[in-house]
Amino acid sequence: MSESGGEQYFTAQPSSTEKRRIITVRLAGRDVDVETGSGVFSPEHVDQGTQVLMNECAELPASGTFLDVGCGWGPLALAMALASPEATVWAVDINERSRDLTTANAARLGLSNVVIAGPDDVPADLHFDVIWSNPPIRVGKVALHKILTTWLTRLTAEGEASLVVAKHLGAPSLLTWLRDQFGDERVVERIAQSRGFHVINVGPSL
């Protein structure tokens, strides 16, 4: 998905003029006001894929270390932090503007359990109990596979990752690739489909 002027939301430092706005969204069962802006993914609302993931994966552990890969302005990270206030939620994005907005929104909602970071700023020895992601499919298959390999290998032994991908953007082929990469060690399955989106779970072995 492109932003104005053809600039992509996965650009590290967007050059477009930033236009911020306050919108009301529903996260973790409550209506909250958040700040969004140009140069990030889905600035006008919580996109459908993210909504599907939150609806299908609403039950989270009470505590642990969670990760939102490609946080944008923060809907998944904020929802996890609201639902599990005792957890530490890492919100990771290459886009500097996305990180700034997520920082502002965590502060706006009084969420001290959200840590915002660039991909290279996450400690190498940190592992995650829960990973949620609406991954940046449009970066291309090679880059996408590198992103997913980087983070999915950092699940704890009992950890689970949930990814939402549009069917028309390659959800079936991504499921096949994930099974090829992780199927010997983990259970990889489609756990839901709704509104043209598939939710893929990468969980512990049985």
Residue 125 to residue 137: CA distance in whole angstroms: 26
Q: What is the homologous superfamily of the domain 46-204 according to CATH?
A: Vaccinia Virus protein VP39 (3.40.50.150)
- With contact defined as beta carbons under 8 Å apart, do 135 and 147 qualify? yes
pTM strictly above 0.85: yes
pLDDT digits (tens, 9 = 90+) for 34-81: 999 988 999 999 999 999 999 999 899 999 999 999 999 999 999 999
Number of C-alpha atoms within 13 angstroms, CB side, residue 18?
14
At 31, is the secondary structure helix, strand, or coil?
Answer: strand
- Output DSSP code: residue 2: B
**Using one digit for the tens of pLDDT, what is the confidence trace for 47-59?**
999 999 999 998 9
Q: Which residues have a Cβ under 8 Å from the Cβ of 136 and sit 6 or more positions away?
A: 9, 10, 41, 70, 144, 147
